[in-house]
Amino acid sequence: MSFVVWAALAIAGLVIGPIVAHLLHLGRAREREFPPAALVPHHRSTARERSRLEDFPLLALRSALIIGLALLGAMPLVRCDRLALGRTSGASVAFALVLDDSGSMRATLQSGKTRWELAKTGAEQLLRSAREGDAVTIVLAGRPARIALAPTTDLAAAEHALDELAVSDRATDLPASVDLARAALRPLPQRDHRLIVLSDLADEPVADGSPEASVPLAELAAKVDDCAITGVERRGMRVTAGVACSSDGAAQGRTVELVVAADSVRDVGARDAGALRSAGDVVAHAELSPRRGEQSLTLAVPKNAGTLNARLTGTDACRHDDEAPVSEESTASVVGVVADPTRAAAKTGGPTVVEQALQALGETWVVRPLPFVPDDEKGLDGVGALVIDDPPGFSPEARASLARFLARGGVAAGLLGPRSAATALGWTLEPFARGAARWEEAHGLQVDTGSLAWLGPEAASLGSIARRGRTRLDGMEISGALVNGRWTDGMPLLLERPAGRGLVVTVGLPASLDESDLALRPGFLALLDQLLRQASQREGGRRTAAGGAWTFPSANRVSVDGPEGAIAVSREPSDEACADRGARPGCGDTILRAVANVRGRYIVHIDGATETRIATLDPAEVLAEPRAPGKEGRSEGAQGTARVGVSRELSLVLVALFTAELAVRLFRKWKGQRAVPSPSAIANP
């Protein structure tokens, strides 16, 4: 046997010895003669428990002393050290701590600690090794990368800021965070700049640059077995669950279950008491395929199953991501299109040009053709944006439905054409325009592309639209409408008006190819894109990746309750930039914004209305394999960080333990003396 084995056995003996002695001591009470023993109440269990409680501190102290001594003696063999800033000279150092707060950092390593705990401990050790005059900045690598602490020489503030940090379920954006850290270090006067990355490096490699990145905690890159539910969506009677597994073993023998959520019982009970289920009931399950990567499982759910959660059976390195809320169908982003296929479709057939244009914008939005504007509000459930081509007016019921749609944050665009000029009796064009529309054939007029500069370079494509006429919008503006696009004669082409929490966009040209080629122009795509962006902002993307911001334009009062309690809602300037020529809608406004850091179900209260939003986990957080520090780690040492022993601290701890044992003994002796009353005080009253 090697020396290490003998040393380990010796340490084990030293630790076990006091424990055995302690237990033996516990098992035998001191025997005394006491004539009035019959009057003494029996307190055997209490006595032993009390003894155990009273003796435990001493036992713990002695064991800690022995372990400390053993560690101190075994320092050459046992690594017990901490991170510190390596210094080549006495000059001050400016260093950036890039702390990865992404979802992959929640994984528990073999040491029993999570990557985040290790990274944060490392950051604290590095901060403690900083001296007066050193500058520090903290950058978080969860997407989007952000500065948690601007460069400062106030080390106490830095420690406080570090204490406040918590891991999230964001995706990782290591390159951006490193760039951000380098940019933050650049203006600092210290000559010695350091960039310390505390991450599992499960992302793109860090780009070369100055200063070089140092990755002192290689143990963070240890691979773990983890499966996560990345998203669960319900469509009718089916639920589709996305699961990502980091390895074959992680998926082996595991099942996805759909369980009734705790807050579901009340909702279901309100609708159908007969379908009442208790929280935690499993309504469906499906086995995972034992393979690495993403897989999609479809499960059938019974009627009125209520609000559901999906969960994975079994265990892995991260329990946090084994359960996720099921997105209701209504939370999917849907854009509704009301267009006459006979007029707005291409000659070659297929969907209408508006639908094709929307589909060309990507798969973020689901396009749903509607035959007409629903009279019932339920017909617009789940619809975030609505495009209506050349409407022949709206019935009172449809107007009421539209008003409610706008009030809850929907964005509606009306492309007014010749049919809009011939509204039926009792029908109007509200909420898009006031009064009757006038369709006129005006030759030689062009769109003032300058007024549409906010659409970007695509606006230029609208300068030469081939058309047969236009809808005159002058005099039709409803109060509060802004003219965001004009004809060359100054007549309005495009109106925008906030309504409720939503937005109404009115365009003076239809999408029908018979009337104009507007729908074929890139500027039309830009216009629709802007429309959907507005809708996204208002609807907030009811199912977004963790870390994404929810904005609430036109909302006055917003509160968000998430899985970890209420999250902060801040009022910030709108993202809309104010261009020199023309202004985008919302330019200069402030809007309410909230960020969902962790995955889960969020209950959002907007001006009295309540809706549910879901934050999901990026599958890359599970699938991306951590990388051992390569070239990033080579600067460890003089240029970055160093591991220093803790012998000094350990010695101080030993002295403190010894002092504590003495104090405990003295206290117990004093306490024992106090507890015994003076015999003379009781003897003879």
Partner 1 sequence: MKTRFAERVGSLDWGKLAPLKLRARAVAEGVFAGAHRSRRRGPGVEFGGHRSYVPGDDLRFLDRRATMRHGKLLVRQFETETDRGLRLVVDASRSMAYRSEGAPGAKLAFAALVGAALCRVALASADTVSLDWIGGTGTTPLPAMGGIEAFDRLTEILAAVEPSGDALDESALLDSALDAVARRSRRGTAIVFLSDFIDLPEGAAERLVALSSGGRVVVGVRVLDPAEVSFPFVGPVLLRASEGTASVETDGGSARAGYLAALAAKMAGYRDRLVEQGGRFVEVTTADDPVLVVQGVLAAIGGPAA
User: What does the binding site for partner 1 look like in residue numbers (CB under 8 A)?
Assistant: 26, 29-44, 46-48, 50-51, 54, 672, 675-680, 682-685
Q: How far is the CB of 680 from partner 1 (least distance, A)?
A: 7
Cα–Cα distance measured from residue 388 to residue 12, given in angstroms and rounded to the nearest whole number: 79
Structure tokens at 150: 């601007």
CB of 54 to partner 1, least distance (A): 7
> What's the min distance (Å) between Cβ of 64 and partner 1?
23
Nearer to partner 1 by Cβ, of 47 and 638: the residue is: 47
Separation CA 73–CA 533 (nearest Å):
65
Contact 38, 645 (CB under 8 A): no
| 2 vs 678, beta carbon nearer partner 1 | 678
Contact assessment for residue 663 and residue 105, using Cβ atoms and an 8 Å cutoff: no
Distance CA(598)–CA(186), nearest Å, equals 32
List Cβ<8 Å contacts ≥24 apart for 314-320.
314/227, 314/253, 314/254, 314/255, 316/224, 316/225, 316/226, 316/227, 316/250, 317/107, 317/108, 317/109, 317/224, 317/225, 317/226, 318/106, 318/107, 318/108, 318/224, 318/226, 318/228, 320/106, 320/169
User: Could you tell me if residue 541 is left (phi over 0), alpha (psi between -120 and 50 degrees) or otherwise beta?
Assistant: left
CB of 60 to partner 1, least distance (A): 18
Residue 5 or residue 39: which is nearer to partner 1 going by CB? 39
CB of 640 to partner 1, least distance (A): 55
- Minimal distance, residue 678 CB to partner 1, in Å: 7
- Cβ atoms of residues 358 and 305 within 8 Å: no
Candidates 336, 328, 370, 371; CA nearest to 532 is 336
Residue 307: its H or E element: none
| Residue number with CB closer to partner 1 (35 or 90) | 35
What pairing do the DSSP bridges indicate for beta strands 492-499 and 482-487? antiparallel
Peptide bond into 431 cis (omega under 30): yes
54 or 514: whose CB is closer to partner 1?
54
Is residue 345 within a helix (H) or strand (E), and if so which, with residue range? none
**Residue 293 token pair:** 């990567």
Residue whose CB is less far from partner 1, 45 or 479:
45
Nearer to partner 1, 35 or 236 (CB): 35
H runs (alpha helix) in 361-445:
396-407
Which amino acid, 36?
P
Nearest to partner 1 of 5, 675 (CB atom): 675
**Structure tokens given for 467:** 């058309």
CB of 87 to partner 1, least distance (A): 54
Q: How far is the CB of 16 from partner 1 (least distance, A)?
A: 23
341-365 burial code (b ≥16 CB/10 A, e <16): eebbbeeeeebbbbbebbeebeeeb
Alpha-carbon span 517 to 463, nearest angstrom: 12
Angle CA(231)–CA(237)–CA(241) in degrees, nearest 5? 20
Length of the chain: 685
* Closer residue to partner 1 (CB): 568 or 683: 683
| Of 236 and 677, CB closest to partner 1 | 677
Question: Cβ distance 496 to 504 under 8 Å?
Answer: yes
Closer residue to partner 1 (CB): 631 or 669: 669
Characterize the bridge pairing of strands 308-312 and 334-338. Answer: unpaired
Q: What's the min distance (Å) between Cβ of 657 and partner 1? A: 23
Indicate the residue among 187 and 679 with the shorter CB distance to partner 1: 679
Bond prior to 211 in cis (omega within 30° of 0): yes
Is residue 523 within 8 Å of 458, Cβ to Cβ? yes
- Distance between start and end Cα atoms, the chain: 72
User: What's the closest the beta carbon of residue 674 comes to partner 1, in angstroms?
Assistant: 10
Q: Residue 5 or residue 40: which is nearer to partner 1 going by CB? A: 40
Shortest Cβ 59–partner 1 spacing (Å):
15
Q: Shortest Cβ distance from residue 25 to partner 1 (Å)?
A: 9
Rounded least distance, CB 666 to partner 1, Å: 15
Distance from C-alpha of 325 to C-alpha of 304, rounded to nearest angstrom: 16
Considering the complex, what minimum distance in angstroms separates the CB of residue 52 from partner 1? 10
CA distance 117 to 138: 16
What Rg do the C-alpha atoms of the chain give, in angstroms? 34
- If the CB atoms of residues 156 and 676 are measured against partner 1, the closer one turns out to be 676
